[in-house]
Amino acid sequence: MPTTPATATNPSSSGTTPSIMLELVDENGTTIGTAEKLSAHQAPGRLHRAFSVFLFDEEGRLLLQRRALGKYHSPGVWSNTCCGHPYPGEAPFAAAARRVYEELGVSPSLLAEAGTVRYNHPDPASGLVEQEYNHLFVGMVQAPLRPDPQEVEETAFVTAQELAERHASAPFSAWFMTVLDAARPAVKELTGAAGGW
């Protein structure tokens, strides 16, 4: 049975704030245990399951989000549509759909698996490490966005050319290009050759 948010948290040592648990995995993506979210990201990092979502509009433009300034990890930088971590026992597909709704207030349509990628990206600004086995998803967004300001500072739909220009001049998450490059075959299949992805 999948773990729900209510059962995936444990009281912190102070007994006041619940901590979010992540699923630790081996190099093949097999679950080997759990760890508290912040501790899994502290150097040198512990390999854990994650997901990244790339949603496009009907014109083939990618939905980017700029992470909220209050986030403890990579605040204020641009990144893919949505990324996060399944709760222990939660299917990555279900987690991806859940977090898109929680962060952006919209349910993706035509969401499809786009492979996995393994990476290790330190974040120089925070000292945290993204040591992740990442499940990739692509899909469409066809409803108005209602972003949660606690999660998302702003959003933008961009063409491939506009992304290249923005990426050259604005800060992006350390993992962004790794996950985008890994998802490109599925992105091209979804958006077609004219999309330029």
Catalytic residue numbers read: 83, 132
Residue 15, number of CB atoms within 10 A of its CB: 7
Residue 18, SS3 per DSSP: strand
Residue 119, number of CB atoms within 10 A of its CB: 16
What is the dihedral sign for C-alpha 24, 75, 165, 137?
A: positive
What residue type is 18 in one-letter code? P
- The continuous run of DSSP H or E covering 38 comes out as helix 37-41
> What CA–CA distances, in Å, run from 99 to 12, 54, 67, 102?
23, 12, 14, 5
